Structure 1
């Protein structure tokens, strides 16, 4: 019995010793694991992160191709070219790498400056070195294999027509986001959506394997404008030359398709090159034809005459006595250049009589002229969607505001943009049907809105043709081979609560050819400083050259033949 007890006690002791041994071993293992975990979490954390980063799968963005902006004939106005961005991870950059000197040369930097910049930003994880470099340069940088130096692919916007169409097209910033013009207005649809792909990178951050595509890049939508680049170039050339000759502060011209309201050309001076914007004068950024307001002056007189005819009180042959060349209205004196005596409505437009349109306006309902101007688009948003476009000012007038009603009849006391002025002449070219101006190519013309009874607008257009005749104020707007109807305007510039005596805005707006209107053109020159400042001497010749060039480019047949040719045809 005693021996059995001793044996049992020995067995229990052995088991207890083995249990304690196992427990001690387990404790040592736990301690070792804990110690290693602590070491990994503290001393080796940065090393493990870098190794994991260097050997992990990464999701990369695939840049989306921005949509092309083109003219109505498909000529590119804004395109995206592939480029690359060189950037650094200063924290990981190897400042002793042999390739840094060559990298600095490729980036057109001094090696010392490159190392100093990386060293000064040592705690950062991202630093641009150079943006929008050529793909060839990017490949050379990648081949160096410098630790911490990376290359991203992207696109750079390029504008083939440069300063000629920049006020319409606008430009993007270095990140490809629209900043001005239609690039800004249609930024969302143009930019598209970037894609994503899964890649494997090596320890220096280079992509070594494409795993799979996660999402394809969705390119931006293309945008086709209404402008004809040929007409745009020609109009720009003429406006630039005219502003230089007359030493003007600025100038603008708008060419519309009379049948659709499409903008075929829109140019401004001064301009700028969107491909090279260093040292850019911000005043050159304005699309003055859509953002700058001015009083349209006598270019509104055809609408006063149209309102008079629509009132039923007058016909084109009605006689208005403008003697003695001035009229007193509520203590204010309104003058003509001289005493024109008795004038028909046609004569009022031919001679641009302030007295004549004042008498017409005061004989009608107080809101007649204002309603007519509103119906043809003045004081209202044109609907082009262009950023910063102004609506102008067209005040409501009551019966007691006789002076204001009088001045509105000849284009003072209201303000408009040049695009609005051009747009207002579309009904005169379309037998009284108003179509809003558009910057986008139209597949078919809009239905339009009738703002004049049939037959009134053609009569007004015939009256406006006399302005270009031998006794009119716009003789220099004539275009050889074509009948032209238009109206001059010479407006004193507002200054200090009144009007400057020696600063003017020269304006001309017209329709061509009169027999079958195809183009509406408006020209404005701000503050010409030469000897000539009248609209008929400054703006009308620009109209003539722009209209003549556009008609030839668009192959519009002539509608005015020399009398000698007509006589020979009749004799035959």
Structure 2
């Protein structure tokens, strides 16, 4: 089987060499432009990052005011940082002014017009306001960077003063928003105390680390400002931004109830990119009321047919069927229920391997019966279902693994009758791409520079290595064979192994499932390069409002390919 596949892959690579070259050139141009903006212009979202870098001394202990730690990606690219901005005002009179009032209105207006977005005439009118001891300059005189403040002060204008305020600034408006989280400004009695409190995501989970308040307040007569530690996430900014763009296009086009996408380094468990829709603007909070939940850990769904790769691996490990053995597809009775394949009539007698590639429910029922439903449930528990992953993120749910109904135990073999979160699925799926060893999925790379560096956490050898590798080979057929259900995920750049899923959605108001045309949970789990997987990619799309004549896998593929192309261009 492997020799035949290797020959097919070589032929496939040659045929697509030209297409690959074109894609590499296009993506290369996009990346050069993006990094040119960051490296040369030092701007993101029209914000000059060099101004903000200027205000953060290397030795943070010398800062009198409490500072929150920055959040970076795994390469040290900033994600969130404290920034100080200034509002400018002019002192026109008052006993308290002690002579520090504007002396020369004309000169002051001429100079200030060079630094703020007001004309000389507009500034003169403000400075000539009668009956006021001081005037402000509106939006044009607010949110000034430290660099602009210093430039104005260097002009030596008498009567021009500044008031500083600290803000939490996120480099990208939409960037794994529910994972990164946000802060709220808090009322403080002293600049020694933290100005912010984390309210969601990493900002909330690691609030005491970022704010430096683990011991603050416990000691009486605290004299030193709390200085937070920086946190480095496992995310890759370049990949994350590409994922966000791809997700937004799919979200706008098909208008699903929600969708999510998570890329994991399968050899380490590092979460490289994570996104969902609805999302929200990190800086303005726009969209936060559309969905507060972090879908990665807070929402569990019936996983559907992606779970079949675990069923198959468990069956291979137990040797409950012979390679190439056939079964009759189409329909099968499970107690008082009739289970059918998705095309209702099946494909006649087919091998169990082809049954996985075709996504046969009947084949999985037969395998669970041979394994034994009780032993299969124990295997699901070994994969981590029904229990928390201990992500530390707020409101993580354990999903449901309650099989009081024996029918559900059997149907769980094709992803029905139990629920799981994306992070549970990701951890379980690491087994297939990592020779049967399950790794903990983590999103913290390190805390503090050079300290607490990333450690791979093994959850044990859950599946025999040969069984995991055997299933991975079948997943390549699922993509490349004409009968495979994952043909939409065939890539011009790399050999992909994938398994799709289309799950019914349980009726929230009663028994049974929703029956609407678009009431499905579409998903895919993919590994690449299939020969020796480095990446695990799990994507889902729930209840699309507009399908534009496409099936679920085709919609998801529009998020899949831009990310895979971006990842492979640097290989």
Taking structure 2 as the reference length, the TM-score comes to: 0.70
Q: Structure 1 388/273 Cα, relative in aligned 2: closer, same or farther at 3 Å?
A: same
User: What does residue range 10-49 of structure 1 map to in structure 2 within 5 Å?
Assistant: none
Q: Report whether the alignment pairs 1:452 with 2:463.
A: yes
* Matched position secondary structure for 2:416: coil
> 8 Å contact 1:478–1:484 — kept in the other structure?
yes
Q: Structure 1 373/533 Cα, relative in aligned 2: closer, same or farther at 3 Å?
A: farther
Question: What residue in structure 1 maps to residue 254 of structure 2?
Answer: 246
Q: Which runs of 5+ in 2 are unaligned?
A: 1-62, 89-94, 102-128, 187-195, 446-452
Once the two structures are TM-superposed, the CA of residue 547 in structure 1 deviates from its matched residue by: 2.1
2:393, 2:130 → 1: CA distance? 49
> 8 Å contact 1:195–1:214 — kept in the other structure?
no
2:318, 2:458 → 1: CA distance? 26
* Matched position secondary structure for 1:177: strand
> 8 Å contact 2:475–2:499 — kept in the other structure?
yes
1:214, 1:382 → 2: CA distance? 37
Once the two structures are TM-superposed, the CA of residue 426 in structure 1 deviates from its matched residue by: 0.6
Q: Report whether the alignment pairs 1:549 with 2:549.
A: no
2:416, 2:440 → 1: CA distance? 23
> 8 Å contact 2:211–2:226 — kept in the other structure?
no
Once the two structures are TM-superposed, the CA of residue 370 in structure 1 deviates from its matched residue by: 2.1
User: What does residue range 154-553 of structure 1 map to in structure 2 within 5 Å?
Assistant: 155-175=166-186, 176-192=196-212, 215-277=223-285, 280-322=287-329, 325-336=330-341, 337=343, 338-396=345-403, 401-441=405-445, 443-469=454-480, 470-495=482-507, 496-497=509-510, 498-502=512-516, 503-529=519-545, 530-532=547-549, 534-553=551-570
Question: What residue in structure 2 maps to residue 82 of structure 1?
Answer: 84
Once the two structures are TM-superposed, the CA of residue 438 in structure 1 deviates from its matched residue by: 0.2
2:380, 2:562 → 1: CA distance? 28
> 8 Å contact 2:67–2:211 — kept in the other structure?
yes
2:214, 2:223 → 1: CA distance? 8
> 8 Å contact 1:239–1:542 — kept in the other structure?
yes
Q: Structure 1 381/215 Cα, relative in aligned 2: closer, same or farther at 3 Å?
A: same
Question: What residue in structure 1 maps to residue 136 of structure 2?
Answer: 105
Once the two structures are TM-superposed, the CA of residue 83 in structure 1 deviates from its matched residue by: 4.1
Once the two structures are TM-superposed, the CA of residue 266 in structure 1 deviates from its matched residue by: 0.2
> 8 Å contact 1:522–1:543 — kept in the other structure?
no
Question: What residue in structure 1 maps to residue 42 of structure 2?
Answer: none
* Matched position secondary structure for 1:238: helix
State the Cα deviation string for residues 194-242 of structure 1 (Å, max 9, x = none).
Answer: 999xxxxxxxxxxxxxxxx994434200100001111111111111111
2:133, 2:278 → 1: CA distance? 43
Q: Structure 1 145/542 Cα, relative in aligned 2: closer, same or farther at 3 Å?
A: closer
Q: Which runs of 4+ in 1 moved over 6 A?
A: 97-100, 130-140, 143-146
Once the two structures are TM-superposed, the CA of residue 164 in structure 1 deviates from its matched residue by: 2.0
Once the two structures are TM-superposed, the CA of residue 520 in structure 1 deviates from its matched residue by: 0.3
Once the two structures are TM-superposed, the CA of residue 543 in structure 1 deviates from its matched residue by: 2.5
1:426, 1:106 → 2: CA distance? 57
> 8 Å contact 1:474–1:540 — kept in the other structure?
no
> 8 Å contact 1:334–1:354 — kept in the other structure?
yes
Larger radius of gyration: 1
Once the two structures are TM-superposed, the CA of residue 450 in structure 1 deviates from its matched residue by: 0.4
Q: Which of 430-439 and 267-276 deviates more?
A: 267-276
Once the two structures are TM-superposed, the CA of residue 78 in structure 1 deviates from its matched residue by: 0.5
Q: Which has the higher contact order (CA 8 A, sep 6+)?
A: 2
2:413, 2:214 → 1: CA distance? 55
Q: Structure 1 391/534 Cα, relative in aligned 2: closer, same or farther at 3 Å?
A: farther
Q: Which of 63-72 and 489-498 deviates more?
A: 489-498
2:459, 2:371 → 1: CA distance? 27
Q: Structure 1 447/329 Cα, relative in aligned 2: closer, same or farther at 3 Å?
A: closer
> 8 Å contact 2:259–2:276 — kept in the other structure?
yes
Question: What residue in structure 2 maps to residue 26 of structure 1?
Answer: none
> 8 Å contact 1:300–1:410 — kept in the other structure?
yes
> 8 Å contact 1:525–1:539 — kept in the other structure?
yes
Once the two structures are TM-superposed, the CA of residue 100 in structure 1 deviates from its matched residue by: 7.8
Once the two structures are TM-superposed, the CA of residue 286 in structure 1 deviates from its matched residue by: 2.8
> 8 Å contact 2:182–2:201 — kept in the other structure?
yes
State the Cα deviation string for residues 401-445 of structure 1 (Å, max 9, x = none).
Answer: 442122111101111122222222111001000001000125343
Once the two structures are TM-superposed, the CA of residue 318 in structure 1 deviates from its matched residue by: 2.7
State the Cα deviation string for residues 114-164 of structure 1 (Å, max 9, x = none).
Answer: xxxxxxxxxxxxxxxx99886678999xx8699xxx96x652110002212
Q: Structure 1 519/284 Cα, relative in aligned 2: closer, same or farther at 3 Å?
A: same
Q: Structure 1 249/101 Cα, relative in aligned 2: closer, same or farther at 3 Å?
A: farther
Q: Structure 1 364/396 Cα, relative in aligned 2: closer, same or farther at 3 Å?
A: same
Once the two structures are TM-superposed, the CA of residue 289 in structure 1 deviates from its matched residue by: 2.5
2:70, 2:325 → 1: CA distance? 55
Q: Structure 1 105/289 Cα, relative in aligned 2: closer, same or farther at 3 Å?
A: same
Once the two structures are TM-superposed, the CA of residue 267 in structure 1 deviates from its matched residue by: 0.6
Question: What residue in structure 2 maps to residue 124 of structure 1?
Answer: none
* Matched position secondary structure for 1:438: coil
Q: Structure 1 218/247 Cα, relative in aligned 2: closer, same or farther at 3 Å?
A: closer
Once the two structures are TM-superposed, the CA of residue 376 in structure 1 deviates from its matched residue by: 2.3
Q: Structure 1 363/214 Cα, relative in aligned 2: closer, same or farther at 3 Å?
A: closer
> 8 Å contact 1:425–1:511 — kept in the other structure?
no
Q: Structure 1 164/537 Cα, relative in aligned 2: closer, same or farther at 3 Å?
A: same
